[in-house]
Amino acid sequence: MRLAIIGGGGIGQVYKTGESNPHEVKVYDTDPALSDFATFDEFMAGDRPKHYIIATPNFTHSFYVEKILSADPYAHIFVEKPGLRNVQEWITYMPNITMVKNNLYRLNVEDLKPRFSGRSCRITWHENNRVPCPGGWFTQKDKAFGGVGQDLMPHLLHFYFYIFGYEGRLVSVKKEQRTDKILPSKYGSFDPSGIFNVETFAELTFKHKDFEVILSADWDAPVEKRRIENDDDKWSFQLCPEIAYVRMLNSRQFTNDYVNHTLMDVKVHQVLDILK
Ligand SMILES: NC(=O)c1ccc[n+]([C@@H]2O[C@H](COP(=O)([O-])OP(=O)(O)OC[C@H]3O[C@@H](n4cnc5c(N)ncnc54)[C@H](O)[C@@H]3O)[C@@H](O)[C@H]2O)c1
């Protein structure tokens, strides 16, 4: 058994189908239609998997880390962004957990460092009318911990720390709820009986010695833009391809690259806590 997935929803399905051998994947979900098991205890019984993946709503991540580790203390767990409830909790479980960083497993990611390092830069992920399930858990502060700052900003932070390292100082934090009208989209229609109390726009500025880097995330900007750019160059990106998730799962990050991953995870978590 290679992969044990908790949460078989949107992203859980990507993990499930992205693997080459479906018989090596098992899924637990509270929705019986998406689950291979009736209970979590049944899911945990049997052979230990190589990795667990927690792909449930944000507010349930901590619960499942604790549950898995009490049954399997040596487990390796990929936790979906934005991680756990806060950085202290993250550090407690750090020997066993890694934050999902699928964007750093895109095929051409190695090109980024030499192209953008050391110069002022904007890292932008602006969507148009892409509020995920508006009214549902993604737009409730107590369930998601925040809006686009917890949803898309982690991806931008992964790019940022990967390209520029850790010397920047966070000098500006902006977040706003800019969207008041939500049209139906493939990411869901607005549930008027639900809750929408999170930001739809978030922007961070990091200052380095001779330059600054601006990270900007928006669920509902007038123009769609996914781009890393400075005065001389730009690199546009699409939604993360499935191959990146597979490459991440097949990587040996728990062994070969443990120090880099834990450092990045803590730094990302610190910034996400500021955005909460
Ligand atoms: N890395 C990425 O690019 C990426 C992309 C999308 C989502 N995510 C993250 O993945 C997680 C899930 O997002 P999603 O878009 O798949 O959400 P989703 O709502 O589509 O799916 C969540 C699934 O979890 C199940 N679930 C809910 N509560 C549960 C519980 N207590 N126990 C077990 N299952 C439960 C639901 O039935 C659902 O199938 C979030 O943390 C999100 O931030 C990451």
More confident residue, 249 or 239: 239
User: What is the CATH classification number for the domain harbouring 29?
Assistant: 3.40.50.720
Query: Can you tell me the mean pLDDT for 3-32?
Result: 87
- Same domain for 212 and 249, yes or no, is no
Q: Taking the model in full, what pTM does it have?
A: 0.96
Residue 119 lies in a domain: yes
- Reduced to 3 states, what is the DSSP secondary structure of residue 244? helix
Q: What is the Å distance from ligand 1's center to 61 Cα? A: 10
Peptide bond before residue 154 is cis, with ω within 30 degrees of 0: no
55 lines ligand 1 (CB under 6 A): yes
- Same domain for 64 and 127, yes or no, is no
Q: Do β-strands 212-218 and 25-28 pair in parallel, antiparallel, or remain unpaired?
A: unpaired
- Same domain for 116 and 234, yes or no, is yes
- Same domain for 63 and 128, yes or no, is no
- Same domain for 30 and 116, yes or no, is no
pLDDT attached to residue 181:
74
Question: How many whole angstroms separate alpha carbon 117 and alpha carbon 21?
Answer: 39
pLDDT attached to residue 36:
96
Q: What is the Å distance from ligand 1's center to 9 Cα? A: 5
Q: What is the Å distance from ligand 1's center to 8 Cα? A: 7
Sorted by sequence, the CB contacts under 8 Å of residue 62 that are 6+ apart come out as 84, 85, 89
Residue 272 lies in a domain: no
Distances (CA, A) of 183 to 127, 201, 221: 13, 17, 13
Q: For a pocket test of ligand 1, which of 14, 28, 80, 269 has the largest count of ligand atoms closer than 8 A to its C-beta?
A: 80
Residue 267 lies in a domain: no
pLDDT attached to residue 21:
54
Q: What is the Å distance from ligand 1's center to 7 Cα? A: 6
Question: How many whole angstroms separate alpha carbon 184 and alpha carbon 262?
Answer: 39
- Same domain for 80 and 171, yes or no, is no
- Same domain for 152 and 118, yes or no, is yes
pLDDT in tens, 144-162: 999 999 999 999 999 999 9
- Same domain for 93 and 157, yes or no, is no
pLDDT in tens, 40-64: 999 999 889 989 999 999 999 999 9
- Same domain for 110 and 225, yes or no, is yes
Residue 210 lies in a domain: yes
Question: How many whole angstroms separate alpha carbon 246 and alpha carbon 214?
Answer: 29
- Same domain for 36 and 119, yes or no, is no
pLDDT attached to residue 187:
84
Question: How many whole angstroms separate alpha carbon 243 and alpha carbon 265?
Answer: 22
Asked whether the predicted pLDDT for residue 207 surpasses 70, the reply is yes
Per-residue confidence at 256, pLDDT binned at 50, 70, 90? low
Question: How many whole angstroms separate alpha carbon 249 and alpha carbon 19?
Answer: 9
33 lines ligand 1 (CB under 6 A): no
pLDDT in tens, 157-204: 999 999 999 999 999 999 999 987 788 888 888 888 999 999 999 999
Domain residue limits at 198: 104-239
Per-residue confidence at 259, pLDDT binned at 50, 70, 90? confident
Percent of the chain residues topping a pLDDT of 70: 96
Question: How many whole angstroms separate alpha carbon 138 and alpha carbon 130?
Answer: 12
Give, rounded to a whole angstrom, the gap between the first and last alpha carbons of the chain.
36
Q: Which two tokens stand for residue 253?
A: 């990050």
Q: DSSP state, 58?
A: G
- Same domain for 126 and 217, yes or no, is yes
- Reduced to 3 states, what is the DSSP secondary structure of residue 234? strand
Residue 276 lies in a domain: no
Query: Can you tell me the mean pLDDT for 253-258?
Result: 69
Asked whether the predicted pLDDT for residue 20 surpasses 60, the reply is no
pLDDT in tens, 118-134: 999 999 999 999 999 99
113 neighbors 163 (Cβ within 8 angstroms)? yes
Asked whether the predicted pLDDT for residue 109 surpasses 60, the reply is yes
262 lines ligand 1 (CB under 6 A): no
Residue 269 lies in a domain: no
* Average confidence score pLDDT of the chain: 93
